[in-house]
Amino acid sequence: VYLQQEPSRKTLDAMLGFAAGVMIAASFWSLLAPALEMAEGKFLPSWLVVAFGFLCGGGFLRLIDKFLPHLHLNFPISEAEGIKTKLPRSTLMVLAITMHNIPEGLAVGVAFGAVGAGFPEASMAGAVALAIGIGIQNFPEGLAVSVPLRRDGLSRHRSFMLGQFSGLVEVVAGVAGAALVFIAQPILPFSLAFAAGAMIFVVVEEVIPEAQRGGNTDTATFGTMIGFTVMMMLDVALG
């Protein structure tokens, strides 16, 4: 955002597609697959626990989407979602990206919490791979909010700082996810699936539509495939 020339819409769409691909891959390899493995041999069928957690995660994000005031990138303020408010456009856009970051932080927190709690199915390498993947896709997400803010007339510094601020919720969600694992270890498979469901909701409802909205559908799609591949390789290689 400090550069004189802003990234083109095509570049932003490719980066958003990349972020979507990373999140989809992380949802399976880093969250759902370990959840199914951990739930084996328990009182309930593993698929039932994971399916329930997955749907609960999506439902949780739907509630946030319904009530949290926010504005999708490049949309007019008249199309703001959530509870009606008089918050400025810049704040509403930051809240939209903040909502994206909740499941990402939760996923990383739960993954590291599982390692700290000593679950044999969880590995430090896998948790690190997830953190790296989420960290990589945070770059396009931060840029996606900073550039429109700059375009709306905010200073470069303020646009940059608001983009960074939107990511702080990941830290809070990460700590909450890790704490949840230590407090209620038996529900770890549910927690992993919950984080995956929340992440998939964000991808399907927010990230992919925004990446496709600019008309660069092929670019965004290949970005998604590359992001998926990168996260898959990270998880398999390090996990």
The answer to whether 6 and 209 are in contact (CB under 8 A) is no
Distance CA 175, CA 112 (A): 10
Task: Show pLDDT as tens, one digit a residue, over the chain (239 residues).
Answer: 455 566 788 888 898 899 899 999 999 988 999 899 888 877 788 899 999 999 999 999 999 989 989 887 767 788 888 888 888 877 787 788 778 788 888 888 888 888 887 777 777 888 888 888 888 877 777 776 677 667 666 667 776 666 666 667 778 888 888 887 777 777 888 988 999 999 999 999 888 988 888 889 999 999 999 999 999 998 888 76
Distance CA 228, CA 28 (A): 10
Angle between helices 46-67 and 188-202 (to 10 degrees): 50
Q: Are 101 and 170 in contact (CB under 8 A)?
A: yes
Farthest CA pair distance, the chain: 59
Residue among 215, 202, 233 at smallest CA distance from 13: 215
Distance of CA 79 to the CA centre of its chain: 22
Q: How many helices (H) and strands (E) does the chain have?
A: 10, 0
**How many Å apart are CA 74 and CA 213, to the nearest integer?**
9
- The DSSP output letter for 203 is I
Tell me what pLDDT residue 2 has: 52
Structure tokens at 214: 């600019």
3-class DSSP assignment, residue 110: helix
Q: Structure pTM?
A: 0.84
The span from the CA of 81 to the CA of 72, in Å, is: 8
Q: Rounded to an integer, what distance in angstroms lies between the CA atom of residue 188 and that of residue 185? A: 5
Distance from chain centroid for Cα 230: 16
Closest CA to 194 of 30, 2, 60, 33: 60
